[in-house]
Amino acid sequence: MAEHDEVYDNQRAERLAALLRALAARIGELDRAGNLLQGVPELLRLMGDARTELFHYEVRSTYESPEAADRRRIVDEAQRQDPFSSDESEGDEPWRPRPQG
């Protein structure tokens, strides 16, 4: 996804909540089984996934909606066009008659 096209919607927020619940449940399972410290590699992986997604959740306000991204694209294209360019070769004095030649 392009930088300005990324969207953090409700569905993604729900997946984050589910990821955090799964992490909490797994910690509880390992603790009840007496294997909390033996599960460190697995927990580190799960926490890494959660940390990445938590970061995206925190910066979600900087993401654009698809509509905003489209508006930005239109403005960027318009700004790249030279409003003074012309296909005609009249020069700087369009009121003067063209030389016959």
Is residue 79 situated within a structural domain?
A: no
Chain mean position to CA 31 = 37
> What's the CA gap between 43 and 72, in Å, rounded?
41
Is residue 73 situated within a structural domain?
A: no
Is residue 15 situated within a structural domain?
A: yes
Is residue 86 situated within a structural domain?
A: no
Which residues span the domain enclosing 61?
3-68
> What's the CA gap between 22 and 20, in Å, rounded?
5
Residue 3 is predicted with a pLDDT of 43
pLDDT digits (tens, 9 = 90+) for 56-77: 888 876 776 777 778 888 888 8
Is residue 26 situated within a structural domain?
A: yes
Is residue 41 situated within a structural domain?
A: yes
The tally of domains found in the chain comes to 1
Q: Which of 6, 43, 39 is nearest to 24 (CA)?
A: 43
Is residue 29 situated within a structural domain?
A: yes
Which is more confident, 13 or 27?
Answer: 27
Residue 32 is predicted with a pLDDT of 98
Is residue 101 situated within a structural domain?
A: no
Residue 86 above 60 pLDDT? no
Tokens 């012309």: give the residue. Answer: 86
Q: Round the average pLDDT of the chain to a whole number and report it.
A: 82
Residue 90 is predicted with a pLDDT of 55
